[in-house]
Amino acid sequence: MKLSPRDAVGFLNRPDPRAPGILIYGADAMRVAQKRAELVKAHTGPDADTEMRLTRLPGGDLRKDTSAAIDAIKAQGFFPGPRAVVIDEANEFSVDALRLALSEWAEGDALIVATAGNLKKTSKLLKLFEGDKRAYCLAIYDNPPDRAEIERMLAAEGLTNLPPESMRDLTALALTLEPGDFRQTLTRIALYKLGDSAPLTPAEIAILAPLSPDADIDDVLNAMADGRIADLAPILARLEAQGVQPVAVCIGAARHFRILHALVSDPRGPGQAIGTLRPPVFGPRRDQILRQAQNWSLQRVEDALRDLTATDLALRSSTRAPTRALAERALIRLTRMAGRR
């Protein structure tokens, strides 16, 4: 039977003991592995591995030994408690063994937890679990976690009663990170706040979030958009020492001003428009971009984009041109433009 996303929450937290097994599949192997781990822990408890109540079988091995799955679900260990058999990377060659195991399963046997990658509707493996009246199949999609799922993840890490602005930034962060990276970030935040009763702040989230590979370029872009011409030279010198190419700075600047253009040109105003940016921005960077959007007029943003487009073409069209000087002059012009009102 198919397990809907709404019903999946309850099943993953409290598996039905009358269900012989479940197939969890999807294109994102990390998310599939996370759901599998949640289900196994909820069914067997945290000590199943050390108490030998958890058996792992590679899906490819079932092709040669079709009775391996039956033996695993029927085997009794020394320790009492629920048992599970995890079959990773199940495929079409695993179908015969899994069909036998599902047909022979009885209450008290180990729960079969099979995982697979992206499956077509015609997949024999998918049809096996969909057609079984007792077993389940759960599709894991690439959609980012919603607020409810984020709140469950936070509760699991002991993070509750977060201020609205912190929840806003964590929701934005979930849209920019891979599921595994986001979960690791929540664990890092929980460790950071251990023993600290003060509410989690957006500034703390920004400090603990993974650094963007363009973080150094962002420094020069913010100095430029803020009109801080005195800060421009030392940041550019640091970028040059790091080997950052002028074209990369120019591309970053154009991307930054396209964001400002989207905010400034929105009839609802920058304050409302910033919540619809994709990818989203959060933390101090959100406040910084919002302040810049309020200080730049639409005409000046469009002038800046035209200047950057011309500079980018000049950087790419001639190898004789002093590329670093061209990029620096363009940034200085835009920084001075930011100072005009």
Q: Supply the CATH number for residue 34's domain.
A: 3.40.50.300
Q: Residue 340 has what pLDDT?
A: 55
Give the span between the Cα atoms of 73 and 83, in whole angstroms.
8
- Note down the domain range covering 298: 215-338
Task: Indicate if 201 and 249 belong to the same structural domain.
Answer: no
**Cα–Cα nearest to 330, from 318, 310, 339:** 310
Residue 115 Cα to chain centre, angstroms: 20
Q: What is the DSSP string of 127-169?
A: HHHHH-SS-EEEE--SPPP-HHHHHHHHHHTT--S--HHHHHH
pLDDT in the model for residue 326: 80
Decide: 254 and 308 in contact? Cβ < 8 Å.
yes
Quick one: 202 and 219 in the same domain? no
CATH number at residue 268: 1.20.272.10
Query: Which long-range contacts (C-beta less than 8 Å, at least 24 apart) are formed by 214-219?
Result: 214/252, 216/242, 216/244, 217/244, 217/248, 217/249, 217/252, 218/252, 218/256, 218/285
Give the helix, strand, coil percentages of the chain, each rounded to 5.
60, 10, 35
Which range (20-29, 108-117, 183-192, 330-339) has the least confidence?
330-339
Query: What pLDDT does residue 339 have?
Result: 55
Task: Identify the band that residue 24 occupies on the pLDDT scale cut at 50, 70 and 90.
Answer: very high
Assess whether 11 and 113 both reside in one domain: yes
**Cis preceding linkage at 17, omega within 30:** no
Average pLDDT over every residue of 37-59 = 90
| Claim to verify: residue 88 and residue 70 sit in the same structural domain | yes
- Domain match, 303 and 241 both: yes
User: 100: burial class by Cβ within 10 Å (0-12, 13-18, 19+)?
Assistant: middle
Whether residue 145 is predicted with pLDDT greater than 80 in this model: the reply is no
User: Poorest-confidence range of 23-37, 58-72, 90-104, 235-249?
Assistant: 235-249
pLDDT band at 4 (very low <50, low <70, confident <90, very high): confident
Indicate the pLDDT class of residue 152, thresholds 50, 70 and 90. confident
Please indicate, yes or no, whether residues 112 and 234 belong to a single structural domain of this protein.
Answer: no
Evaluate if residue 308 carries a pLDDT over 60. Answer: yes
What length does the chain have?
Answer: 341
What per-residue confidence (pLDDT) applies to 320? 65
Among the candidates 183, 208, 233, a domain finishes at: 208
Question: Which residues are CB-contacts of 286 (< 8 A; sequence separation ≥ 6)?
Answer: 169, 172, 202, 274
Token pair for residue 177? 């990170």
Please check whether residues 125 and 194 belong to one and the same domain. no
Q: 202 and 220 in one domain?
A: no
**Res 216: pLDDT:** 62
Do 123 and 55 fall within a single domain? yes
236-260: average pLDDT: 80
Query: In whole angstroms, what is the distance from residue 274 CA to residue 293 CA?
Result: 10
pLDDT at residue 37 tops 80: yes
Q: What is the number of domains present in the chain?
A: 3
User: What spatial distance separates the first Cα and last Cα of the chain, rounded to whole Å?
Assistant: 64
Which DSSP symbol is given to 2? Answer: B
Query: How high does pLDDT run on average in the chain?
Result: 84
Query: pLDDT, tens digit, for every residue of 171-186?
Result: 878 877 777 778 888 8
Task: Name the 3-class secondary structure at 54.
Answer: strand
Residues 115 and 9 in one domain: yes
Nearest to 323 by CA among 245, 219, 223, 215: 245
pLDDT band at 97 (very low <50, low <70, confident <90, very high): very high
- Rounded CA separation 276/262 (Å): 10
Whether 165 and 235 share a structural domain: no
- The model's pLDDT over 176-219, given as tens digits with 9 standing for 90+, comes to 777 777 888 888 898 988 888 888 888 888 788 776 545 567 77
